[in-house]
Structure 1
């Protein structure tokens, strides 16, 4: 069953792919940057220059959990973790349950650095 369209290719997406696309969009959109929807996004970008230590990781996880809870009602977040690299990049890894069908899903979202 088709649930949406890829914003990159225009191809049809399954429910789980569409949720993954939504999660990536939420986490990579800084709060305050969407016109007429200023509250949309996450506060992760406020933490980009935080130290790559357990406190910084916990703050990013909290910002992730807050954004997912607020903006992606189809996903129940079970676990989030952050892995940082020396070159300023981080990957937020998420595990959750799709509320509609109870299936477990895992997503990884790259944050920071240049691609």
Structure 2
């Protein structure tokens, strides 16, 4: 049985930065949030920047317990 590290993002570390990687990042982010954070419904993911091997994301969605839209800007992976 393989360990579950919470997301597939660690698998993307050495991949070339291109459109395919961006789509993989979006997908892995959405999958992890859906699996591990039931209080948050993701509506939008945006790659804000790539610098020194780090990808910065902006996330937007609905915080279900309060029914409010929230944002997380500058999430570094």
Range of TM-score over shorter length: 0.7 to 0.9
What is the aligned counterpart of 2:40 among 68, 75, 86? Answer: 75
| Unmatched segments (≥5 aa) in structure 1 | 1-30, 33-38
Who is 2:64 aligned against? 99
| Unmatched segments (≥5 aa) in structure 2 | none
TM-score (norm 1): 0.59
Flag the structure with higher strand content: 2
Deviations 1:66-112 (A, max 9, x none): 00000000000000122312x1111122101001111111113211x
In the alignment, the residues of structure 2 paired with residue 50 and residue 78 of structure 1 have an alpha-carbon distance, to the nearest angstrom, of: 25
Aligned residues: 74
Q: Which has the higher contact order (CA 8 A, sep 6+)?
A: 2
Instruction: Provide the aligned C-alpha RMSD in A.
Output: 1.6
Contact residue 57 and residue 81 of structure 1 kept, 8 A: no
Following TM superposition, the consecutive aligned residue runs of length 4 or more in structure 1 with deviations greater than 6 angstroms are: none
